[in-house]
Structure 1
Amino acid sequence: MLTLVSRRLRNSLVLLMLATLLCFTLVVSAPGNIAVLIAELRTPKATFADIHKIELELGLDQPIVTRYSHWLTGALQGNLGISYKTGEDIGPALSSRLPITATLVAGGATFAMLFSFVLGFAGALWPGRFADVATRTIALLGASMPSFFVGALLIYGLAVQLRLLPTFGSEGLSSWILPWITIGLLPAAVLSRVVRVGLEEAMSRPFALTAVAKGLTRRTILVRHALPNIAPTYINALGAQTGAMVVGAVVVEPLFALKGVADLFLSGVLFRDFMVVQACLLVFISFFVVLNLLVDIGMMFTDPKLRRQGS
């Protein structure tokens, strides 16, 4: 088990290094000269000498390998550079915004887990009945509506018309309810189908038929025997949907005026602030790599086949 975990950790580190290289290359290869943009922001009538001075300050005249080495070394030390737009350090800005994005994604993932289990388990408990049809309909609608549309409906219905919840800000639990539902509804719909199909498949296996022959109720069989069997599949799907929530945060954060990492990333793209874009991409890449590592470890703990393969 430890050997398998260490192997996954080593692979994750290699993947992270390759991802940082790709991230840096994509940003650096963007069209246009960033020195010209900064010079125009500082001085409306910038000369070639001003542009050349900025290139020397930013190290844009150095080879790309040297620039990547300096950027990666600084990033490992917590120095993510200076924003071209504001002239401030990016590290403190990211550290203040990370808790907001983390709270958004964690809350959305929690809502997705709870709601998906309720829908999937209800459908598996009463197959073919009204509850099964209703949960399938809810899952279909949830998977068909994009996050910005769900957020707009929630804001109009619960905030504007009924005035039950605030529409923006991050103060208090009530301000997080609408963003959590918005970002977690689509993943919950997808995960509910994973639960429903997985439980139905597990109920058709010999161990479930044996439990039925012993007189156990369907509810008992689902809880004791079927749910543990779908755990590896569910963890894998949950990891994929949690990663998708990070992408969804790019839409949800501006919608509810949440000043998180995704909002900072959009601002960097809008103003071509490449240092901010690089820093945000590095955070996103690190999150995806760590998330995949945790998913792999979780699947090892819940799937005996993977543990036997590792040993």
Structure 2
Amino acid sequence: MIHFISKRLKHSLVLLFLASVVCFTLVVSAPGNVAVLIAELRGAVAVPGYVAQVEEEIGLNKPLLMRYVDWLGDAVTGDFGISYRTGQAVSADLPQRMMVTGTLIAGSAVIATLLSLLLGFLGAFWPYKLPDRVSRGLALIGASTPTFFVGALMIYGFSVTFQLFPSFGFNGPISWVLPWLTVAVLPAAVLSRVVRVGLEEAMTSPYVLTAKSKGLGRTAILFREALPNITPVFINALGTQVGLMTATGIIVEPLFAWQGVGDYFLAGVRFRDFMVVQACLLIFLSFFIVVNLIVDLAVLMTDPRIRRQWS
């Protein structure tokens, strides 16, 4: 087990390094001259030699490899540079925005997990009957509906029509409900099918027949026998969906006026604020890598076959 954990940690470190290379390469490959943009923002683009002065000031005249090493060294210590648009340190804006995005992803993951288990168990408890058909239909609709459209429906239905929840702002738990539901719809739909199919396959296994011969009811068999056997598969699927929620947050945060990392990333792209874009990309990729590491460790803890393989 220790060998497995150390191997996964090494792989994660390699992936983090490659993620930093990708982030830096994508940003420096973008068309246009950053120095000209900064000079325009400062209103001095027409001053002779000012663009060259800006290039020297922000290090654009250095070799590409040296620029990457400087940026990576600063990023490791938490210094992501200065925003070209605001002149403020990017690292000063990130903690609050990461808390907002973390709240969005954590709450949505919990709701998606609960909804998927509910829909999956409804279908498994009454297979091929009305509850199963309803859960399948809801999962199909949820998986087919674009996230921005779900958000618009949430705002129109629960905020404009019934006035139950606020439609914008990060102002306490009541304002978190609609963004959580918006992000959770697609993952819940996908995960509910994972649960339903997994339970259906588990109910055909020989140990289920043994449990029935002992007099256990369908509910007890689903929870005590079938659910533990689909847990590793569910954790894998949940990890993938949580990673994808980072991309969903880029759409949902501006929709509900949440000032998270996704909103910060869009502002950086819109104003060609490359230091912000690099920092946000690195955070997104690092989050995805860390989530996958946690998922692998969780699967190791819940799947005795993998534990025996690496023991």
Helix, strand or coil for the counterpart of 2:170? coil
Helix, strand or coil for the counterpart of 2:49? helix
- State the distance in 1 between where 2:209 and 2:47 align: 81
The residue that corresponds to 2:298 in the other structure is: 298
Point out where structure 2 has 5 or more consecutive residues left out of the alignment: none
The residue that corresponds to 1:254 in the other structure is: 254
Q: Deviations over 1:173-229 (max 9, x none)?
A: 110000000000110000000000000000001111221222211111000010000
The residue that corresponds to 1:279 in the other structure is: 279
Q: CA deviation at 1:43?
A: 1.8
Contact kept in structure 1, 2:108 and 2:181, CA below 8 Å:
yes
**For residue 76 of structure 2, what is the amino acid of its counterpart?**
L
Q: CA deviation at 1:231?
A: 0.6
The residue that corresponds to 2:133 in the other structure is: 133
Q: Deviations over 1:10-65 (max 9, x none)?
A: 11011101110111011111111111111111125424500000000011011111
Contact kept in structure 1, 2:35 and 2:54, CA below 8 Å:
yes
Q: Deviations over 1:120-170 (max 9, x none)?
A: 011101111111111111111111111111110111011101111110111
The residue that corresponds to 1:99 in the other structure is: 99
**For residue 57 of structure 2, what is the amino acid of its counterpart?**
E
**For residue 118 of structure 1, what is the amino acid of its counterpart?**
L
Helix, strand or coil for the counterpart of 2:164? coil
- State the distance in 2 between where 1:198 and 1:121 align: 10
- State the distance in 2 between where 1:119 and 1:46 align: 63
**For residue 145 of structure 2, what is the amino acid of its counterpart?**
M
Point out where structure 1 has 5 or more consecutive residues left out of the alignment: none
The residue that corresponds to 1:176 in the other structure is: 176
Q: Which segment drifts farther, 251-260 or 33-42? A: 33-42
**For residue 35 of structure 2, what is the amino acid of its counterpart?**
A
The residue that corresponds to 1:67 in the other structure is: 67
- State the distance in 1 between where 2:56 and 2:30 align: 19
Q: CA deviation at 1:305?
A: 1.8
The residue that corresponds to 2:185 in the other structure is: 185
Helix, strand or coil for the counterpart of 2:184? helix
The residue that corresponds to 2:55 in the other structure is: 55
Q: Which segment drifts farther, 116-125 or 33-42? A: 33-42
**Superposition TM-score, scaled by structure 2 size:** 0.98
Map of 1:206-217 to 2, 5 A cutoff?
A: 206-217=206-217
Contact kept in structure 1, 2:45 and 2:51, CA below 8 Å:
no
Helix, strand or coil for the counterpart of 2:16? helix
Q: Does 1:78 align with 2:78?
A: yes
Contact kept in structure 1, 2:169 and 2:256, CA below 8 Å:
yes
Q: Deviations over 1:286-307 (max 9, x none)?
A: 1011101000001101111211
The residue that corresponds to 1:27 in the other structure is: 27
Percent identity, please: 58
Aligned residues between the structures: 311
| Aligned structure 1 segments of 4 or more residues deviating by more than 2 angstroms | 44-48
- State the distance in 1 between where 2:78 and 2:215 align: 61
Map of 1:102-117 to 2, 5 A cutoff?
A: 102-117=102-117
- State the distance in 1 between where 2:172 and 2:79 align: 32
The residue that corresponds to 2:195 in the other structure is: 195
Helix, strand or coil for the counterpart of 2:172? coil
Shift in CA distance, 45/33, structure 1 to aligned 2, threshold 3 Å: closer
Q: CA deviation at 1:76?
A: 1.1
**For residue 67 of structure 1, what is the amino acid of its counterpart?**
R
- State the distance in 2 between where 1:45 and 1:207 align: 75
- State the distance in 2 between where 1:174 and 1:96 align: 19
Q: CA deviation at 1:7?
A: 1.1
**Superposition TM-score, scaled by structure 1 size:** 0.98
The residue that corresponds to 2:243 in the other structure is: 243
Helix, strand or coil for the counterpart of 2:188? helix
